[in-house]
Amino acid sequence: MSADVIPTAVSVCEFICKSIVSDPDAVDIEVDGDDGRFELTVTVGDGDTGRVIGRRGRTAQAIRAVVRAAAAKDDAEVDVEFAD
């Protein structure tokens, strides 16, 4: 599915993830879902998974919260998952 459906949420997620990791070019975000409910699957480069998840998942939870808030502008519900 294209990121054109929820552009604000995808761009916010991409910006945050690329700002955190050491290899920003390796960040890839896949969008899946429909009918106002979407899932963003974030894939990062080798060794950067720990950076986006953080200690006890706090960074991941913060990213999810900010992206959900941004998705409100797109009139959608978004869940963010981090692929290994």
What pLDDT is attached to residue 1?
Answer: 59
Confidence of residue 50 (pLDDT cuts 50, 70, 90): very high
User: What are the structural domain ranges in the chain?
Assistant: 7-83
What is the rounded distance in angstroms from the CA atom of residue 50 to the CA atom of residue 59?
9
* Phi/psi at 64 (5° precision): -60, -45
Whole-model pTM? Answer: 0.91
pLDDT band at 70 (very low <50, low <70, confident <90, very high): very high
1-44, pLDDT tens digit by residue? 557 789 999 999 999 999 999 999 999 999 998 888 999 999 99
Q: Which two tokens stand for residue 60?
A: 């991941």
* CATH 3.30.300.20 holds for 7-83: yes
Tokens of 40: 């963003």
pLDDT at position 29: 95
pLDDT at 84 over 90: no
Q: What is the DSSP letter of 19?
A: H
Residues 73, 8 contacting (CB under 8 angstroms) = yes
Element (H, E) at 18: helix 7-20
